[in-house]
Amino acid sequence: MKYVFILMLLVVGAAAGAWGAAIVVRWNDNMTQTARIVPGERAWSTPSGVFSMPPGVVPRGGELIIPKEQRDVAAKQPNPVKASEGSVAIGKERYATFCAPCHGPEGKGGTSGLVATKFIPTPDLTNAELQKQRTDGYWHSYIVVGGAVMPAYGEALSTQEAWHIVNFLRSIAQK
């Protein structure tokens, strides 16, 4: 009787393992490796070559997205958007929509954002020291392709909007 029980446990365990493996394989396959067009990414990102384009081309109106592994390159990008009142206002509006849940309404970080209490406390973006350390390009890259744990917003926001947000963040720097 004991052996039958152990045998059943093994069978159930093996079935669960196989099922889990199937989910992982299908997840990888369906979610990350299918041919797809990603704005600003190069054609070689589609291994099947279904959408092959001459190397290095970008869609009209698009912009080449620098992956986060090359943050140092992205950090050197100059900010093409003047920090006018209009730009800061757009940045502020987008910030309230996309960033405030984690970074708090004033960018003070910690757990001032509703989501941050359940996620990872965020840094104080108004901190003068941090503001000095980071270039506009660095923060723009953070918004577009994400951070260590911060999600990427390149699909929700245009690169232009990301620059507006950077201009807004500069406007709330502590003196």
Which residues sit at the interface with ligand HEC, rule CB under 6 A? 98-99, 101-103, 115, 119-120, 122-123, 125, 130, 134, 139, 142-143, 147-151, 153, 165
**Token pair of 156, please?**
């929700």
**Token pair of 144, please?**
């577009």
Q: How far is the CB of 100 from ligand HEC (least distance, A)?
A: 8
Q: Exposed (0-12), middle (13-18) or buried (19+): which is 48, by Cβ within 10 Å?
A: exposed
Q: How far is the CB of 87 from ligand HEC (least distance, A)?
A: 14
Nearer to ligand HEC (CB atom), residue 39 or residue 101: 101
Q: How far is the CB of 143 from ligand HEC (least distance, A)?
A: 5
Nearer to ligand HEC (CB atom), residue 42 or residue 71: 71
Alpha-carbon Rg of the chain, whole angstroms?
A: 22
Contact assessment for residue 95 and residue 80, using Cβ atoms and an 8 Å cutoff: no
Nearer to ligand HEC (CB atom), residue 62 or residue 101: 101
Nearer to ligand HEC (CB atom), residue 46 or residue 98: 98
d(CA 161, CA 169): 12
Q: How far is the CB of 78 from ligand HEC (least distance, A)?
A: 17
